[in-house]
Amino acid sequence: MSSRDAILQRLRNRSGGELAIPDCDFSVLQRPSSSVAERVDQFQKTIESVHGEVHRCTSENWITQLADLLSSRGARNLLVPAAHQIGRTLRDADSNELPELLIYDEPIHSWQAQLFNEVDASITSTRGGIAETGSLIMWPTPDEPRLMSLVPPIHIAVLEASELYSTFHEAMQDQNWAAGMPTNALLVSGPSKTADIEQTLAYGVHGPKELIVLVIE
Amino acid sequence: MADPIKVYPPKPSHVYFYATCLIDMFYPDAGMAGIQLLEREGVKVIFPEDQTCCGQPAYTSGYHDEARAVAKAQLDLFPEDWPIVVPSGSCGGMMRKHYPSLFKHTDQEDKASGIAARTWELTDFLLNVCHIHLKDLGEPTTVAMHTSCSARREMGVAEVGPRLLGQLQNVNLVEQVRAEECCGFGGTFAVRHPEISGAMVSEKVDALTDTGAGAFVTTDCGCLMNISGCAEKNRKPLEGQHILSFLWDRTHSGSGRES
Amino acid sequence: MNQATQDPHHIDVKEFHPRARAAISDPKIRQNFRKAMDGLITKRKDAFEGMDLEALRELGANIRLRALANLPDLLEQLEKKLSENGIKVHWATDGDEACRIVRNICVARNAKTVIKGKSMVSEEMELNHYLEERGITALESDLGEYIVQLAGETPSHIIMPAIHKNTGEISELMHQTTGTDLSNDVEYLTASARQQLREKFMNADVGVSGVNFAVAETGTLCLVENEGNGRMTTTVPPCHIAVTGIEKVVGNLEDVAPLLALLTRSATGQHITTYFNMISGPRKLEELDGPEEVHLVLVDNGRSSIYQDDELLDTLRCIRCGACMNHCPVYTRVGGHTYGTTYPGPIGKILMPHLIGLDEGRHLPTASSLCGACGEVCPVKIPIPDLLVRLRQESVDGDKLNPAKVRGHGAKRGSVEALVWKGWSWMHARPGVYRFGTALAARLRKLQPGQLGGWTEYRTAPKLAAKTLHERMKERGQ
Ligand code: SF4
C-alpha cells in the first residue's frame, strides 16, 4: 500500500470512532461599522507602529509626492508596472523630477542580477488594505510580478482609501477569495524585519527596508 | 468546549470541610482558622472524620489506580447535598476538575461529578457565597500575596485573595513582580526536578522579598512550605502564612492583636 | 555537557537532568531566556488588548477541532485542489521517507543547493543533515536559523531559533564563520547576513519551506513570516518544496483569518507579521517569476497515531505559536536545548513522546510543575497540563481502567516507586490507618529527618505540627 493510502486508512479507521464536529462562531471577528476616514486613521496608526510610512495624497498630487520621496532618498530608478494605470500615468507624466523608470517585462532569469543589485525602488498597486492590522493586500500579476514588491530596498504601494477593509476576514469575504485564489496572494504589513538577534528589531533583512504607502483619498 | 461558568450557591446552613493532608499534618492552624471564619459567618462546619487525602499526589505522578483508590475513599464522606469547602486551590482543583475524569466510566462516575460540582475553594466561598465583611483589628502592616497556580487557573480565584485583603483597613497589599509565575512546588516535581524547582522557588523568594513587605500570604500550603522553606534556608527576611490564618488572626477579638 | 558544542544529531533525550543542571548554572543562558520571555509575555498581553480573547480562542480551538474531525476528507480535498492548481502532493509516513522525497525531487532536477525558509517539520525530519550527507547543500535563510546553522546547533525556540544567544555571541560567531567584522550593531550584522544570503538565493536550485496553514477549499499554502526570506525561498528558486505535518490542514479559507490573528499575537505580540504569503500554484505561463514547480510533502511521522485517541488528539490542534514556551517557568529556566528534542517546552513535552516514544522521552512529561500557564495562553486551548498528566500515567502504566497506548509506555515504571505509591494508597484509603499514622508522625516529629533529598537542597524540611487537625477537631468534640 502507498504511504498515502496507509495514512488515510489509519485516519479513517480511527480507533476512537467518529469525532463530533463543533460549531464555529465567527461573530467575534465582526467590527462595528466605520467610516473611510476612521479606517484610514487606523491603518496609518497601525502600519506606522511597525515602521511603515504613510503619505495621504490625492489623485492629482501623488506623483509630486512620490518624486519628493524618491529624490530625498537618492533613488536612481523606479520599477513601475508596465500596463497598470500607475505605470502608465508615471510614464506619461514625463516628469524630470522622477528618477529613471524601469519596467519588469522579462522573465526573472534574464535580469535577476540587475533586479537584485541595481533597482533602488519599486511601485505597485494594491487590492485594498486592512485597517486593523495595517496590511496591504497584493495579488501579484504578470504586470506586477511577485519579486517586484520584495527585492528592491524601497517599496512604494498605492492604496485607494475607499478600498480599506476593517479586517482580513471582511476583505476576503467581500472580495470572495474562496471562489479562486491567484498563484500568489500576499498581505504585506510593513517593511521586512527581524528580531532574531537578541530581540532587537532590524529592518530590511531580506525584503525592502522601507515600505511607503501612498493613500489616495 | 467553553469553560463552565461558576454559579455560586446561596449561603448554606452547613458545609463539609475538607482539610487536605498538608493542612492536617503541617498547618492545622490554617485549617482551624478556616473553620472559625466559616462559623463566624453562621455556617455550621462538618469535618468528616474519615477524610485523608484527595489523591492528587498519585494522580499527578501518573499512578491513577492508586489515586482512584484513595479518592474513592473520600467519595462517601459527603452524603448531604452541602457544599464542600477546601482551604487549597490545588486539592480543590483535584476534586472539582479531575474527579469526574478519574471516575469516568466507573460506578462512581455520578457521585464524583456531584462532588466536583459542589467543591469550592474556601476563600472564594467566603467572599462570594458567604459575602464576608472583615473588620481589621490588627496593627498596620504590609504583605505580599502569592496565589497558587491551581487557585489562579484551575479554580479561577486570582481576584479573591486581594479583595479579601482589601477589606482589611490596616493592611497594605503590595504586588510582587511576575505575580503569575509558579513558585516551583508542583508536588513531586520539586523532588523529581530539584534543580529546576530550586531555581523557580529562589526567584519567587527574591520577588516576594523585593516587595519589601517582609511577609506574604498564600492560598496553598504547598506553596507556603516551598517558599517559606527556601526563604528560611537562605536566611531571607520573609515570613509566610496561609491567607486564612492571616485573615482570622487579624479579625477575631481575643487574638491579642487589637489596638 | 556544554549545550552549544554537543552534536545536535546525537543528543540523548534521556540525559535531561545533566543538561538542565548545566543550563541553570549558566548565568548567560538564564539571562538570555529570561529577558526574551519577559518581553514576549508583555507583548502578547498588549497585542490582545481590547479584543475578546476568550471568544477568539474558542473559535480557534473549534476551527482546529473541526478540521481534525474531517481530517482524512480534508487531506484528500487538499490534494485534489492542489493538483488542480498544479502543485504536486507527496505523502510520507515518517521523516526518512519525507527526506527521500525531497532528495528525489532534487536529484530529478539535478539540484545541488537548497535554500530553506523556516520549517520545524524539516527540523523534525533532520532534512539538512540528510541532504548534506548525500552531497546536497542545504542553507537556512531565516536569520535565526542561519545563525544556529553557522553555530552547528539546533533551534532553541520554535519561533526564535537563536534566542539563546546574545548579540556579542552572534557577532563572534559571524566573525569566525563568515568573516563579518565584529560589531555590536544589530543593523550591521543583519545587513551582512542579507548580503551573504542574497547571493545564495540567486544561485539556489530549490527552495524548501514549511507551511502554517494548508487550506483544503482553495488548495492554498499559507506562510507566516517577517523577514521576507520565506517569500524569497518560495519565489526565487525554480522549484519550491513545502513540507508540513498532516495536521496543518484547515477546511476553509475563512478559517485562516482567526487562526492568523491568534498565531501572530500569541507568538510575538504582533497584530500580524510583515508577510502573510498565500501560495496556490506554480508560475503560470504568462507570469514572469515564481517557481516553475511546486511540491507539498505531507508528513505523518507519528501524527496518525496521536489521532487515534480522543484525548491525545488535542495535541494536533497546535498552530506552533510558541506561546506555551514563552510562558513556561521551566523553559525560561532551562532554555530550549535542555529538552534535547526538536520541539522544546510544553508543546514539545506533549508532542515529542509520540515522535520518539515514551521510553526515549520519559523525562519530558515530568519536567513540569503543572502550573498551567501554557494551557492558559494556548490560542487553541490545548489542555497541556492534562495531557502531561496523561503521559505521566502512560509512562508508568498507571491506569488499569485506561490502558496506556503511546509507544514506549510503561518505561518509567520502577518497582520501588510503584511500591511506594501502593503503600501510600493503602494507607490513605484507610482512614483509621491514616489517622493513626499521622498522629504517630506528629508525636515523633522530633525524629523527622532534616535532609529530604532534592527538597532540602534548596529549602528547609517542612515541620510537622504537634497535633494534626484531625486530633484538634476530635478535642473540639467533632
Ligand atoms: S501548544 Fe498552544 S501555545 Fe504551544 S505552540 Fe501549540 S498552539 Fe502555541
Ligand 1 atom nearest C325 alpha carbon:
4
**pLDDT, tens digit, 9 for 90 and up, residues C362-386:** 999 999 999 999 999 999 999 999 9
The answer to whether residue B6 is domain-embedded is: no
Please name the chains neighbouring A, where neighbouring means 3+ C-beta pairs under 8 angstroms: C
Does the beta carbon of C379 sit less than 6 angstroms from any atom of ligand 1?
yes
Residue A32 main-chain phi, psi, to 5 deg: -60, 150
Whole-number average pLDDT of chain C: 94
CA-to-CA distance for C304 and C312, rounded, in angstroms? 11
For C197, the grid coordinates are 544570503
**pLDDT, tens digit, 9 for 90 and up, residues A38-91:** 999 999 999 999 999 999 999 999 999 999 999 999 999 999 999 999 999 999
Whole-number pLDDT of residue A94: 79
The answer, for B59 touching chain C at a CB cutoff of 8 Å, is yes
The answer to whether residue B259 is domain-embedded is: no
* Residue C445, pLDDT above cutoff 90: no
CA-to-CA distance for B61 and C394, rounded, in angstroms? 10
The pLDDT-based confidence of B183 (bands split at 50, 70, 90) is: very high
Which residue's CA is the nearest one to ligand 1's atom 4? Answer: C324
Which residue's CA is the nearest one to ligand 1's atom 7? Answer: C318
* Residue B253, pLDDT above cutoff 50: yes
CATH value at residue B26? 3.40.50
Q: Which residues, including other chains, have CB under 8 Å from residue B235's CB and lie 6 or more apart?
A: none
Ligand 1 atom nearest C267 alpha carbon:
8
* Distance of CA C84 from the midpoint of ligand 1 (Å): 32
Which domains occur in chain A, in start order? 34-192+201-216 (3.40.50.10420)
* Distance of CA A18 from the midpoint of ligand 1 (Å): 25
Does the beta carbon of C323 sit less than 6 angstroms from any atom of ligand 1?
yes
Q: Compute the C-alpha angle A98/A100/A104, nearest 5°.
A: 120
State whether C402 and B64 contact (CB < 8 Å). Answer: yes
CA-to-CA distance for B248 and B134, rounded, in angstroms? 9
CA-to-CA distance for C31 and C33, rounded, in angstroms? 5
Residue to test with chain A: of C289, C294, C312, most A Cβ within 10 A: C289
Q: Show which of residues 127-186 on chain B sit within 8 Å of chain C, judged by CB atoms.
A: 149-150, 152-154, 178, 180-182, 184-186
CA-to-CA distance for A106 and A122, rounded, in angstroms? 16
The answer to whether residue B92 is domain-embedded is: yes
* Residue B257, pLDDT above cutoff 50: no
Give first-to-last CA distance, chain C, whole Å: 58
User: In this structure, are B82 and B19 located in the same domain?
Assistant: yes
Please choose, from the candidates C102, C298, C115, the residue with its C-alpha nearest in 3D space to the C-alpha of residue C206.
Answer: C115
Which domains occur in chain C, in start order? 52-304 (3.40.50.10420), 431-475 (no CATH)
The pLDDT-based confidence of B2 (bands split at 50, 70, 90) is: low
Closest in A19, A29, A194 to C226, CB measured: A194
The answer to whether residue B221 is domain-embedded is: yes
User: In this structure, are B187 and B86 located in the same domain?
Assistant: no
- The predicted model gives A107-135 an average pLDDT of 97
The pLDDT-based confidence of C12 (bands split at 50, 70, 90) is: confident
**pLDDT, tens digit, 9 for 90 and up, residues B130-179:** 999 999 999 999 999 999 999 999 999 999 999 999 999 999 999 999 99
Residue appearing with cell numbers 563568515: C178
The answer to whether residue B8 is domain-embedded is: no
CA-to-CA distance for C199 and A175, rounded, in angstroms? 38
* Distance of CA C381 from the midpoint of ligand 1 (Å): 8
State whether B65 and C399 contact (CB < 8 Å). Answer: yes
Domain boundary among B128, B151, B181: B128
Cα distances (Å, whole numbers) of residue A81 to A104, A142, A192, C95: 7, 9, 21, 43
User: In this structure, are B117 and B207 located in the same domain?
Assistant: no
Residue of A nearest to C274 (CA): A189
Please tell me the total count of domains within chain B: 2
* Distance of CA C379 from the midpoint of ligand 1 (Å): 7
3-class DSSP string for C294-324: EEEEEECCCHHHHCCCCCHHHHHHCCCCCHH
Percent of chain B with pLDDT over 70: 97
User: In this structure, are B37 and B117 located in the same domain?
Assistant: yes
Domain boundary among B128, B151, B179: B128
State whether B58 and C421 contact (CB < 8 Å). Answer: yes
User: In this structure, are B153 and B85 located in the same domain?
Assistant: no
Whole-number pLDDT of residue B3: 60
* Longest CA–CA separation in chain C, Å: 92
CA-to-CA distance for C228 and A202, rounded, in angstroms? 13
For C209, the grid coordinates are 519551506
Per DSSP, helices labelled H in B61-193 are: 64-75, 89-93, 99-102, 109-117, 122-128, 149, 160-166, 189-192
Whole-number pLDDT of residue C7: 59
* Longest CA–CA separation in chain B, Å: 57
Helix (H) or strand (E) holding C240: strand C239-245
User: In this structure, are B41 and B110 located in the same domain?
Assistant: yes
State whether A6 and C147 contact (CB < 8 Å). Answer: no
Which residue type does B152 have?
A: R
The answer to whether residue B1 is domain-embedded is: no
Which residue's CA is the nearest one to ligand 1's atom 8? Answer: C321
The pLDDT-based confidence of C444 (bands split at 50, 70, 90) is: confident
CA-to-CA distance for A173 and A66, rounded, in angstroms? 32
Please choose, from the candidates C31, C33, C37, C26, the residue with its C-alpha nearest in 3D space to the C-alpha of residue C3.
Answer: C26
Helix (H) or strand (E) holding A156: strand A154-160
Please name the chains neighbouring B, where neighbouring means 3+ C-beta pairs under 8 angstroms: C
The pLDDT-based confidence of C8 (bands split at 50, 70, 90) is: low
Whole-number pLDDT of residue B4: 63
* Distance of CA C377 from the midpoint of ligand 1 (Å): 8
Q: Residues C251, C196: contact at Cβ < 8 Å?
A: no
Residue to test with chain C: of A198, A210, A213, most C Cβ within 10 A: A198
**pLDDT, tens digit, 9 for 90 and up, residues C82-130:** 999 999 999 999 999 999 999 999 999 999 999 999 999 999 999 999 9
CA-to-CA distance for B160 and B167, rounded, in angstroms? 11
Domain boundary among B128, B155, B185: B128
User: In this structure, are B114 and B204 located in the same domain?
Assistant: no
**pLDDT, tens digit, 9 for 90 and up, residues B79-126:** 999 999 999 999 999 999 999 999 999 999 999 999 999 999 999 999
**pLDDT, tens digit, 9 for 90 and up, residues B26-71:** 999 999 999 999 999 999 999 999 999 999 999 999 999 999 999 9
Which residue type does C115 have?
A: I
User: In this structure, are B62 and B155 located in the same domain?
Assistant: no
* Distance of CA C9 from the midpoint of ligand 1 (Å): 25
Q: Residues A131, A42: contact at Cβ < 8 Å?
A: yes
User: In this structure, are B95 and B196 located in the same domain?
Assistant: no
User: In this structure, are B161 and B221 located in the same domain?
Assistant: yes
Please choose, from the candidates C106, C159, C163, C164, the residue with its C-alpha nearest in 3D space to the C-alpha of residue C130.
Answer: C106
User: In this structure, are B113 and B146 located in the same domain?
Assistant: no
CA-to-CA distance for A139 and B87, rounded, in angstroms? 60
CA-to-CA distance for B143 and B175, rounded, in angstroms? 9
Whole-number pLDDT of residue B61: 96
The answer to whether residue B238 is domain-embedded is: yes
A contacts of C227 (beta carbons < 8 Å): 192-194, 205-207
A contacts of C144 (beta carbons < 8 Å): 194, 196
* Residue C5, pLDDT above cutoff 70: no
The answer to whether residue B154 is domain-embedded is: yes
CA C291 to chain centre: 30
CA-to-CA distance for B59 and C390, rounded, in angstroms? 10
Which residue's CA is the nearest one to ligand 1's atom 2? Answer: C378
User: Is the four-CA dihedral C265, C269, C271, C275 of positive or negative sign?
Assistant: negative
State whether A206 and C141 contact (CB < 8 Å). Answer: yes
- Region of C43 (left: φ > 0; alpha: ψ -120 to 50; beta: rest) is alpha
User: In this structure, are B115 and B156 located in the same domain?
Assistant: no
Residue of A nearest to C302 (CA): A7
* Distance of CA C176 from the midpoint of ligand 1 (Å): 36
The answer, for B238 touching chain C at a CB cutoff of 8 Å, is no
Domain that holds residue B105: 14-128
Whole-number average pLDDT of chain A: 96
Helix (H) or strand (E) holding C41: helix C27-47
Residue of A nearest to C311 (CA): A16
B contacts of C333 (beta carbons < 8 Å): 196, 199-200
Closest in C144, C186, C276 to A187, CB measured: C276
Q: Compute the C-alpha angle C56/C58/C64, nearest 5°.
A: 105
Alpha-carbon distance A157 to nearest alpha carbon in chain C (angstroms): 14
Q: Residues B244, B134: contact at Cβ < 8 Å?
A: no
State whether A24 and C246 contact (CB < 8 Å). Answer: no
